[in-house]
Amino acid sequence: MYHNPVLLTKSVDDLVTNPAGTYVDVTFGGGGHSGEILRRLTPEGRLYSFDQDLDALKNTIADQRFTLVNQNFRFLENSLLMYGVNQVDGVLADLGVSSHQFDAAERGFSTRSDAPLDMRMNVQQSIDAKKVINEYEEEQLADLFYYYGELREARKLAREIVHHRKLNPINTTGELKNLFSYIPQFKQNKFFAQVFQAIRIEVNQELEALKEMLVQAHRILKPGGRLVVISYHSLEDRLVKRFLKNGMFEGEPSRDIYGNFSKTFELLQSKAFVPDNDEIEQNSRARSAKMRVGTKL
């Protein structure tokens, strides 16, 4: 298993309402959530899990009720149709990068190692972090640092990268970090986490893929089916919160003359579920986790 799955018991408790039903884990990873879902299902139950990372295929589960789909979850609906599935009882997403991906230094996800600028969750795709850093226009870089990294100094960072790459290509995470060695040490961890997050989101088109998956998840869920999403930063959580609230990612829904709008989900609770202190002590990854659960109306 790649890591201790965050909110494992709570997420699966809220997901599995029909033990004989059909479920989807769109972020298989090390198989922790999928394994727990299978433990809750009867022999009639079915689980389809998705992961675009080839490394995840090594963790496949030998169970006739289980199917592992090597695809990005943005292709959720069409991939399930290939298996004759058009309705499911629940969809679970544990977003972000797995501990395994962070720990595999050569993947370039971690700020702790000097590694090739990669950050691809699907190593077969053409765009990687090296291409983003060395080929994007200055304005594109500034935008992704501002919107995806929430960095106020985004324009300055983009300008410095463009200036440096004219002299020498930036090939590794270490070379990228060295450009900003002037950042005070007490700020470096947060700063580089934001920089790397911004690049990773762009490389993998994470927010666009999330929006596509959420829309498709709503379509394939049966009435009464559950959507459970665990996110690790505010950009993801904001999209999930808005979608569960009114079926939209931006703007406001149309309201009737009484000021009401058609809801697509009933929230299990208005606030996000968060791990307790014991789980955070045992698993540092849980510190930033927020889980939201909606029941399709």
Known binding positions for S-adenosyl-L-methionine? 31-33, 51, 73, 94, 101
Residue type, 275: P
CA distance 241 to 147: 18
Q: Residue 91 gets which letter from DSSP?
A: E
Element (H, E) at 69: strand 66-69
- 94-129 burial, b at 16+ Cβ within 10 Å, e below that, comes to bbbbbbbbbebeebbbbbebebebbbbbeeeeeebb
| CA-closest candidate to residue 97, choices 230, 192, 224 | 230
Question: Residue 65, class by beta-carbon neighbours within 10 Å (0-12 exposed, 13-18 middle, 19+ buried)?
Answer: middle
| CA-closest candidate to residue 33, choices 14, 18, 11, 57 | 11
Positive or negative, the CA dihedral 76, 202, 198, 242 is negative
Residues at the binding site are 31-33, 51, 73, 94, 101
